[in-house]
A and B are shown apart, each in its own frame.
Chain A
Amino acid sequence: MKDRAAFDLLYRQTSAKLFGVCLRVLKDRGEAEEALQEVFVKIWTKADRFAVSDLSPISWLVAIARNHAIDRIRARREPAAYIDAALEVADPAPGPEAAAVAGGESERIYRCLDELEKDRAAAVRGAYLDGESYAELAARHDVPLNTMRTWLRRSLLKLRECLER
């Protein structure tokens, strides 16, 4: 089947990246495997959506995987246990991430993150990479939820202003 060969290629080239996304957000291998399965089914049945996107194919695929994994953690019922698990696994240090990064676009966003206050940049990274919610970030940084909301909204606008500069 021709379609199937195309799918096999797509899977071979992208599954490791998308699995990395699911693992980092879900922090549970079994759940990440289930999520990856759902993500590829979604991609294959919703590929027409790509028409309206300016994203590169791989960024589009990563966005689908990220959003799916985040929807899954939000649907979990035991938030307290989850926060503990996230604290154990989350690595707030920028070192390994920055090291894994290559290419101008990534350098640029890290440079722009550096323009933010340190804890706010860490909150932006934690939210993006680990899918942490306002509630979780507020608890971790020990600030009221609305303060966290204001922090991140301002940070996002500053970030965009820097990226568009």
Chain B
Amino acid sequence: MTLEEDNGPEPGGDDLFAAEYVLGVLAADEREIASRRIDADAAFARLVDAWEAHLSPMAGAYPETEPPIRVKEAIDRQLFVAEPRAGLWSSLAFWRGLAAASVAALAITIAVPYLNPPVEQPRLVASLAADGSDVRYLAVYDAAHREVGLSHVSGERAAGKDFELWMIEGKNAPVSIGVIPAGQTAHMTISPAVQEKLARGAVLAVSLEPAGGSPTGQPTGPVVAAGDLKSI
């Protein structure tokens, strides 16, 4: 990773091409080439991913702006109408946005399950929230990596307190997955026993605990966020 890399035409070529794609400076035709390579070339996709991870903290500068309700209504019509085809056919915006690259991506998305039949791992998502609390997490359960990825959306822990993540299945006592590390995102590894229950769609909950986690093994503080895992 020296500056020599951008002098020669090829050394560092893919790495810099990935960086330029992520930065967003490429022209339309170059972006299309990059986008096809992401779909077809796993090594290139990893380079892109690494650059996305490097640069993503800059996205903190994007302000949140509530979109008008008509956007959600249009999406619902497109995704959830009984005959989704009718929704797609009638959406001008959809066809306009469906560039050649998207068609290629779509074709690969459809083809991949047939090429790799054994690895259809469940992916579950939960939005964790509760009335009277501003704590929000987005949780994604990744069975393949045996972990729960948490993205902190809002709400701060009080001084000297920690958030702890629990798995609750039916009427059974909550099982601790662990204290959630501070920060924007966290990856928490889960035990095989918990994994089995998560795959069936257990509830995830976040409680406020003394620093270091519940001393009793059961939640001692208020549940500040909870949600069902649903498949996506």
Asked if B174 is an interface residue, CB under 8 A from chain A, the answer is no
| Contact across chains for A12 and B230 when beta carbons are under 8 A apart | no
B185: chain A residues within 8 A (beta carbon): 56-59
How long is the Cα–Cα vector from A15 to B230 in the complex, in angstroms? 18
Interface of B is mostly: helix
Question: Which of B45, B127, B183 touches A104 (beta carbons < 8 Å)?
Answer: B183
Report A111 CB to chain B, min CB distance, Å: 11
Contact with A along B54-67 (1 / 0, CB 8 A): 11111111111111
- Chain A interface main SS type: helix
B-contacting residues, A132-157, CB 8 Å? 132-135, 137, 150, 152-154, 156-157
What number of A-B contacts does a CB cutoff of 8 Å give?
248
Chain A min CB distance to B107 (Å): 12
Inter-chain CA distance A83–B63, complex, in Å, is 22
- Contact check, B56 vs A59: say whether CB atoms are below 8 A apart: yes
Chain B contributes a number of interface residues (CB within 8 A of A) equal to: 81
Complex interface: chain A residues within 8 A of B70 (CB)? 33
A81 near B: Cβ within 8 Å?
no
Since A16-B67, A153-B19 are in contact, a sample of 15 more A-B pairs with Cβ atoms closer than 8 Å, ordered by chain A residue number, is: A3-B230, A7-B79, A11-B72, A11-B75, A17-B62, A47-B123, A47-B125, A56-B149, A100-B60, A106-B60, A125-B61, A128-B23, A156-B16, A156-B23, A157-B6
- Chain A residues in the interface with B (C-beta under 8 A): 1-7, 9-17, 19-21, 23-24, 32-38, 40-41, 44-59, 62-63, 66-68, 70-72, 74-75, 96-98, 100-106, 108-109, 124-125, 127-129, 131-135, 137, 150, 152-154, 156-157, 159-161, 163
